């Protein structure tokens, strides 16, 4: 995530519940993804979960972008 976006998120998340929730979810998903990627030899089920987490994270990032766009 870009520095400008992080600054905007920090500025507006206190007053924008959706942005705050999406950002907290983003951080949680990032941690889960990093944990799975650090594991060696992922099985098919773990790989499927990893792909699902990445899609969910991207979807949330797109929604954050839609909120941030008019604030720039």
**Model confidence pLDDT, tens digit, residues 6-59:** 999 999 999 999 999 999 999 999 999 999 999 888 999 999 999 999 999 999
Q: Is the pLDDT of residue 70 over 90?
A: yes
Domain with 55, as residue range(s), is 3-71
Q: What's the pLDDT at 1?
A: 75
Dist. CA 36–CA 38, nearest whole Å: 5
Q: How far is CA 6 from CA 26, 29, 42, 47, 68, in A?
A: 12, 16, 32, 29, 10
19 or 1, greater pLDDT: 19
Q: How many domains does the chain have?
A: 1
């Amino acid at each position: 995530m870009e520095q400008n976006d992080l600054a905007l998120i920090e500025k507006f998340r206190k007053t924008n519940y959706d942005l705050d929730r999406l950002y907290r979810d983003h951080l949680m998903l990032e941690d889960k993804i990093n944990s799975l990627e650090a594991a060696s030899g992922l099985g098919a089920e773990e790989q499927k979960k990893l792909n699902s987490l990445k899609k969910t994270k991207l979807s949330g990032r797109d929604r954050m972008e839609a909120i941030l766009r008019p604030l720039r």
